[in-house]
Amino acid sequence: MTMSRLLLITSTILLALLVANTLWIFRPGQIAAAKQASAAEVELESAIGSWQLASLEPEQYALIFFGYHRCPDICPLTLAHLGRAYQQLPIDLQDRLQVVMVSVDPRLDDWQELFAYPPLFHPSFKAVAGETEQVDQLVAHFEAFYRVVDLPSSGLGYAIDHSPGLYLTNHRAERLLTLVSDDSHYLLTELKTFFGDQP
């Protein structure tokens, strides 16, 4: 093997390593940023038209959770606690915080009934629904889970197991706070603490 041939191979390997290294360093960050941007742009339907996190004002926040209209106990429980906590927030914080229930059963939920449901707990609360792929993108972004389970022996026929978390986020779909609680005092304290820390 000639010297020049050896140099060529060595430099090729070095170049390949450099390129691989560059990709290795930059890729995860770029992917995370892209995912966040696409989560913010996920477009769902609400009672008053299309909804997406990206359309929040920069100073606004959304507290989202996953559920479904036929969810018989956990969803009304979550909404009742949220309603109670929300009513006790100062008005200026209420104006900056949107509570959004995202349906993980968009095919079987009656959307009009779904949309009418959260406002029972507070007039400003809303529900959104959409294509399963879009919903799944939001679910994945917040590292939540759900699964449809057949229950042939129950009159329900099926149930949807789902993460009970409440995800505080903004127009950039940043994951600012995750709350898991069935206590409205706790929710209120956490929200006040979070907003108290904001400039």
Partner 1 sequence: MNKLAIIPLLLGLGWPVLADEQHHAEHHSSTQISQSIEFRHAWVRAAGEQQITAAFVQLRSAEDKQLVAVHSDLAEFNEVHTHSMVDGMMQMREISHIDLPANQWVNLQPGGLHLMLINLQRELTPGEEIPLQLLFADGEQLSLPFQVMERTYLPEAEHHSEHDTEMHHGHHGH
Q: Under the rule (CB under 8 A), what is the footprint of partner 1?
A: 69-70, 72-74, 76-77, 79-81, 83-84, 110, 113, 120-121, 145-147, 149, 151, 153-156, 159, 161-164, 167-168, 174-184, 186, 190
Q: How is residue 35 written in tokens?
A: 């995912």
Query: 188 CB contacts (<8 Å, ≥6 apart)?
Result: 84, 85, 88, 89
State the minimum distance, in angstroms, from the CB of residue 135 to partner 1. 15
| Contact in structure between 147 and 140 (CB atoms under 8 Å) | no
Alpha carbon of 118 to those of 46, 53, 69, 103: distances in Å?
11, 18, 9, 11
Q: Is 73 or 133 the residue whose CB approaches partner 1 more closely?
A: 73
State the minimum distance, in angstroms, from the CB of residue 120 to partner 1. 6
Q: Which helix (H) or strand (E) holds 146?
A: strand 146-151
Q: Is 44 or 160 the residue whose CB approaches partner 1 more closely?
A: 160
State the minimum distance, in angstroms, from the CB of residue 61 to partner 1. 12
Instruction: Name the phi and psi angles at 190, rounded to 5.
Output: -65, -40
State the minimum distance, in angstroms, from the CB of residue 62 to partner 1. 13
Q: Is 10 or 30 the residue whose CB approaches partner 1 more closely?
A: 30
Judged on CB neighbours under 10 Å (0-12, 13-18, 19+), 195 is middle
Q: Is 84 or 96 the residue whose CB approaches partner 1 more closely?
A: 84
